[in-house]
Structure 1
């Protein structure tokens, strides 16, 4: 296996119980990421789900993927995603060269995102790539009860501002070695892959997020 997709999906969500298997459209949430990975067989050699939850495991197995049981010690609210990825790599008999991280809570992705970004990753020779989206907002912080602009000057027009970018969570590509040796998903040399699409604004954590996902799914997936 040269490249695998890993989908971390623990149970125990407090704000939206059972969210990883809650149905979005006609299938469980996690199935959208599984099927996205499987739709790219020229890139993805195997799909692995890491979970601590029996129901999530059951659903994942029904979609024909490898399931790695995540230990309780790696399943806490504050546990970083990279430890789950490292556990998967340490559990597999054969360590792949590349890991594509697909988060179950980002179920909708532009169709060619993986193909296009992986080609850039492959040609660049870098150790990591991650998707970002531009955001033009007048940001600042409050210091001594005063608002201090961060990325603009008072009176500056929004269209004249230099955009900032946020990590949208749609996709990460990393060398397995980076995860195993440095416990990092993205390094200082990581390539940012710009995505300007409504899917980039979605990260499901609450019922309102899920309702927005349902709206996007029916607007873009069903209609198209």
Structure 2
């Protein structure tokens, strides 16, 4: 069985009630649920939450919420791997054994169903343990600057002060959208960022982590731009 698991706890502090806050007319989590449904690849779409209101919203958009997450997995220190392992164990015990799982964040309004399907195919065609989304940094990280206490500037890698941009290796970061794996991997090897994983690149214009009010505003602007394109 292939299962999508969408972690969505209720205790977001920087953006209160973030996961169900209205984003362009719909609760933010609705976009992730709808992308998972439209992909057609999942047998079950499960939302892992500790919050009854989030559970009710998730069910209204077509997801299942067969359990409420325990308090021990609902604080600021709960890891994605622990939440995923708990959900996979619960589903395997109470419903049906899970072969493949995909963690989809509730804050991924730009995720497309085709991304989910293509990344799953990439995982199946490889010997990797994970396949997850990445995006490239817009500027060379070798030229990154740091600021001192009084705003003074220095380079992290001053040896690249004169290196041409085209001669610097391109760098990538976790796009924070989804993470495909076989079901036992989350418990056995929670280290996603390793040579045991393969990356699924996404274009930068469809990637925005949403953790702060500034992130939210940028995502709103991005969505408006996409609607006009």
TM-score by length of structure 2 reads 0.86
1:217 has 2:216 as partner = no
**5+ unaligned residues in a row in structure 2: which ranges?**
none
What corresponds to 1:139 in structure 2? 144
1:66 has 2:64 as partner = yes
- Tell me how far 1:50 sits from its aligned partner: 0.3
Q: Deviations for 1:74-109, whole angstroms, at most 9, x for unmatched residues?
A: 111121111111111111122211111110122212
What corresponds to 1:51 in structure 2? 49
Matches within 5 A, 1:56-205: 56-67=54-65, 68-92=67-91, 93=94, 94-135=96-137, 136-137=140-141, 138-139=143-144, 147-150=154-157, 153-185=160-192, 188-200=195-207, 202-205=208-211
- Tell me how far 1:115 sits from its aligned partner: 2.0
Say if 2:33 and 2:62, in contact at 8 Å, map to a contact too.
no
- Summarize the Cα distance change of 1:24–1:82 in structure 2 as closer, same or farther, 3 Å threshold: same
Structure 2 Cα separation of the partners of residues 91 and 133 of structure 1: 32
Structure 2 Cα separation of the partners of residues 173 and 11 of structure 1: 24
State the superposition RMSD in angstroms: 2.3
- Tell me how far 1:155 sits from its aligned partner: 1.6
- Tell me how far 1:130 sits from its aligned partner: 1.1
Residue 160 of structure 2 aligns to a residue whose secondary structure is coil
Q: Deviations for 1:39-61, whole angstroms, at most 9, x for unmatched residues?
A: 011x1111000001111111011
Number of residue-to-residue matches in the alignment: 219
Structure 1 Cα separation of the partners of residues 154 and 55 of structure 2: 48
Greater Cα offset, 174-183 or 161-170: 174-183
**5+ unaligned residues in a row in structure 1: which ranges?**
none
TM-score by length of structure 1 reads 0.88
Q: Which runs of 4+ in 1 moved over 6 A?
A: none
